[in-house]
Amino acid sequence: RRGRLDLRLPTGQEGPPGEDAGAGPVGELSWEFHPFREKAIRSWIVVILLLGICLTMNWAFEGWLWSVLAALFLFGSLSRWLLPTRYRLDEKGVELRFLGTVRHRPWSDFNAVHTHPRGLHLSPELFLRCAPGMGTEVEAYCRARMTAAAETARAIHVGGER
């Protein structure tokens, strides 16, 4: 599933995502990003270095406690590289799943999309990592959803409801 973008459409819908009466694209996008798999040689070099550092800690301090602490610290600091992150975009917002946690943000929280070589930055404060070639479709989906959310908020504001 290397860098594969999955499109799930509502029941009864066929074909590519369309516009749903101004509500943005229909369906959801989901993918998994796992840098360890994307750059295998570099990843194995990192793992070997981690093991080397842990063994050096064991030798230098003559005890496994420091080696285990070093392993936990290094694994924690490199967890975004070593473990996969799952992304799901739907009509409600953006969902990130990483290390057993789920983080959900509605489209109304975002006001801009900025493209980067390694993904998209939804401003403020959220970066979606994408494999090469996926960014264009994800960007179009995000822009459409953010526009729909802004139009809905504007309509509610103009209508006097809050």
Q: What is the C-alpha separation between 145 and 147, in angstroms, rounded?
A: 5
- What average pLDDT does the structure give for the chain? 81
102: its two tokens: 């789920």
What's the pLDDT at 72? 92
Q: Is 128 exposed, middle or buried (0-12, 13-18, 19+ CB in 10 A)?
A: buried
Residue whose structure tokens are 């369309």: 18
User: Could you report the per-residue pLDDT of 65-121, keeping only the tens digit for each?
Assistant: 888 988 899 999 988 888 999 999 998 999 999 999 999 999 989 988 998 888 899
Cis amide linkage into residue 132, ω under 30° from 0: no
Which pTM value belongs to this model? Answer: 0.72
What's the pLDDT at 5? 56
* Phi, psi (rounded to 5 degrees) for 29: -110, 140
